[in-house]
Amino acid sequence: MFLIFGPPGAGKGTQAEILAQKYNLKKFSMGDVLREEISAGSSIGRMVEEHIKNGALVPDELIFEIVEDFLLANLNTDILFDGFPRNLNQALELERILAQHNLKLSLAIELSLPEDEIIRRLSGRTYCSVCGTLYNEITNPPQKTGVCDRCGGKLLKRPDDDVAVIRNRLKVYNEETRPLAEYYKSLGIHRMVSAMGDKDLVFKRIVEVIDGCFK
Ligand code: AMP
């Protein structure tokens, strides 16, 4: 059971995808789940839409409902959490739910990236409107601009990758999510990995850290 966190644009989602494949983990990506709820027009989707559009965090109570449902359906599975927890309250709740089932986290990987690089990268970020694959014109470009390598779908920009919203997401990250590093350090399970460089280089660094921990 481990988790990956980091500022927007650090490549959490992309790395979580390939890490889950390599280590045979079930990936739980909170941002993806929330976006799916919005696309489906569900009642949760309607409640979270405005928060996401503004780059704010979705209220913890809603997040806990989603996590609890997911965990109950996946109790015997090794999970990689991506984008959850996002604040200390969520981290404590995750510990509590896992402990109820005699489970605990073994690793919290923090991706680090300087702020100017974050803004540069987010401006290049796209995703496939059909299969959801993530791309970045700078660090992880598709073979043909605007077209998904995997399914040929059209690539779009996320509405919350707008510059004003990015600034707010960064502020929220610095104030609410970054303090998780101290918390996980106190539990002895925190590892920091630089997210500079392309997808393959960052993946290699993370794999070294994971393999070093579970040798
Ligand atoms: P992400 O795809 O991880 O960048 O998440 C996109 C947006 O979804 C965030 O900017 C938040 O508005 C919302 N979100 C994702 N995960 C959480 C969470 N654990 N708690 C609250 N809001 C979240």
Q: Is the pLDDT of residue 203 over 90?
A: yes
Mean pLDDT of the chain: 94
Mean pLDDT throughout 148-152?
97
Point out the ligand 1 atom lying closest to the alpha carbon of residue 54. 12
Half-sphere exposure of 68 (CA within 13 A, CB side): 11
Name the superfamily (CATH) of residues 2-115+175-213: P-loop containing nucleotide triphosphate hydrolases (3.40.50.300)
Query: CB of 51 closer than 6 A to ligand 1?
Result: yes
Q: Percentage of the chain surpassing pLDDT 70?
A: 100
Every domain range in the chain assigned CATH 3.40.50.300: 2-115+175-213
For 97-106, 144-153, 182-191, which range has the lowest pLDDT when averaged over its residues?
97-106
Tell me the residue ranges of DSSP E strands in the chain.
2-5, 26-29, 79-82, 107-112, 125-128, 134-136, 155-156, 190-194
- Amino acid identity at 166: I
Give residue 137's pLDDT. 84
Give residue 46's pLDDT. 96
Half-sphere exposure of 199 (CA within 13 A, CB side): 19
Give residue 18's pLDDT. 96
Nearest-CA residue for atom 2 of ligand 1: 31
Give residue 108's pLDDT. 98
Point out the ligand 1 atom lying closest to the alpha carbon of residue 86. 19
Query: Are 26 and 137 in contact, with CB atoms under 8 Å apart?
Result: no
Give residue 215's pLDDT. 76
Mean pLDDT throughout 93-116?
94
**pTM strictly above 0.75:** yes
What residues are annotated to the active site? 12, 86, 125, 158, 169
Mean pLDDT throughout 18-45?
96
Q: Is the pLDDT of residue 60 over 80?
A: yes
Confidence label for 121 from pLDDT (cuts 50, 70 and 90) = confident
